[in-house]
A and B are shown apart, each in its own frame.
Chain A
Amino acid sequence: MESRGRSHVGVTAMVVGLLVIASQMQGSIGIRFVIDREECFSHEVQYEGDTLHASFVVIKADTPWSYGDEGVDLVIKGPSGEQINEIHDKTSDKLEFVVQKKGPYRFCFTNKSPYHETIDFDVHVGHFSYFDPHAKDEHFAPLLTEIAKLEEALYNIQFEQHWLEAQTDRQAIVNEGMSRRAVHKAMIESAALIGVSVLQVYLLQRLFERKLGTSRV
């Protein structure tokens, strides 16, 4: 009778634990947007003590020469307006901090260059749930804890992968630009060389004709 009672508690502990895991629907939010002067986003953090990871990569800048090395500014403000972090003039950065207060956190990007820039922004809140110590059953609690840790680690990996993808995109654009620019440079250089030498010949001919003209007369 007592063992049956204990198995009941065990089953309920498992259900409790799983409901707590199941209610953590997480993942990261990765979006790309075009920034003109300033863009702000908010994200709601529900639990204190969570770690908030954020990353951004400037994918491309619509400059005429397709070369933009100026970055953007990012200011992170907490729920009551207090400033948490500030980043200036970076083309890509990753940061994390522990959330002290729950509520909406604001991420504001400022673009200092006069051109539009495409930015890839990713936010991920890592939550580690603690299981109810009342439902103590030695068999299930460590297992569920480990599964929760594994889930957290996998979401972290996905977050890092998203940042890596954004960086490769940026590099791909830079590479293609470089290839195009090499061809353009060679053509312009050849055209300039030919033009300059034709100008030289023409000027020399004019000089000698003038000299010949004055001396022969």
Chain B
Amino acid sequence: MALKIFRNARLAVLLVELVYLMGFLVPSAKAIWLTMPSSGTKCVSEEIQTKVVVLADYYVVDDTPDENHNIPTISARVTSPYGNNLYHADNVTHGQFAFTTTESGNYLACFWVDGQVKEGSIFSISLDWRTGISAKDWESVAKKEKIDGVELELIKLEAAVQAIHENLLFLKTREAEMREVSETTNARVAWLSILSLGVCIAVAALQLWHLKRYFQKKKLI
């Protein structure tokens, strides 16, 4: 009986080790690969609210190495909606940047090729871009609050639900704005058609009056 327990424990430890290794060997594949032409800039953007944490990681994917095994180098720039430069890097093959948004709007990340690249060669940049809830560092939260296991998973889910709720509220305000615009458009169309009709009638009356005066002057009436 004691031997059976011991064997079970060893099997369990082995399993834990195996899964532990698997969990770390398999990278979190959340990145998207952009195909870069040999010249020109590739930009991606996202609409982000204020006070949102943005984490991004990018590297050049060595798809088709050329003869000298040179990996092409790229430059990156991130701009805020009002044009401020948040990050700039030249001649790198990988990099990361992180910032917390202070303005709400369209954040733009642009990449372009530096240096000499064979004409017509195509390579990819892998961009891992996380905002808000996916950028949260759960390990440090778990260590700080000393929670783990099921509780951590449930707290993650609660944070995800909060993010969804905030998103929904944002969508509600957008819908309210759009409704307002639609109603002003409706009112405007009504008033402007009446105005057009009024202008038409006024101009016709003016014509009549002017021509009558003209004919009376020329003694035709």
Q: Which residues of A contact B (CB under 8 A)?
A: 1-2, 5, 8-9, 12-16, 18-23, 25-27, 29-34, 39-46, 104, 123, 125, 132, 134-135, 143-144, 147, 150-151, 154-155, 157-158, 161, 164-165, 168-169, 171-172, 175-176, 178-179, 182-183, 185-186, 189-190, 193-194, 197, 200-201, 204-205, 208, 212
Contacts and interface: CB of A to CB of B under 8 A. Distances in A.
B139 to A, nearest CB: 9
Interface string B201-215: 001101100110011
Contact of B171 (A33, A164, A190, A193): A164
Contacts of A154: 157, 160-161, 164
B5 A2 contact: yes
B16 A186 contact: no
B196 A31 contact: no
A179 B188 contact: yes
A182 B185 contact: yes
Given A44-B31, A157-B164, A168 B196 contact: no
Contacts, number: 191
15 contacts: A1-B2, A1-B5, A5-B9, A8-B12, A26-B30, A29-B32, A32-B44, A43-B31, A43-B32, A147-B157, A168-B171, A183-B192, A190-B199, A204-B211, A208-B215
A27 B30 CA distance: 7
The DSSP consensus for interface residues of chain A is: helix
Nearest to B177: A172
Interface string B95-134: 0000000000010000000000000000010000110011
A128 B34 CA distance: 27
Contact of B8 (A9, A123, A144): A9
Contacts of A25: 28, 30, 134
The DSSP consensus for interface residues of chain B is: helix
B195 interface: yes
B150 A147 contact: yes
Given A5-B8, A161-B164, A172-B174, A186 B192 contact: yes
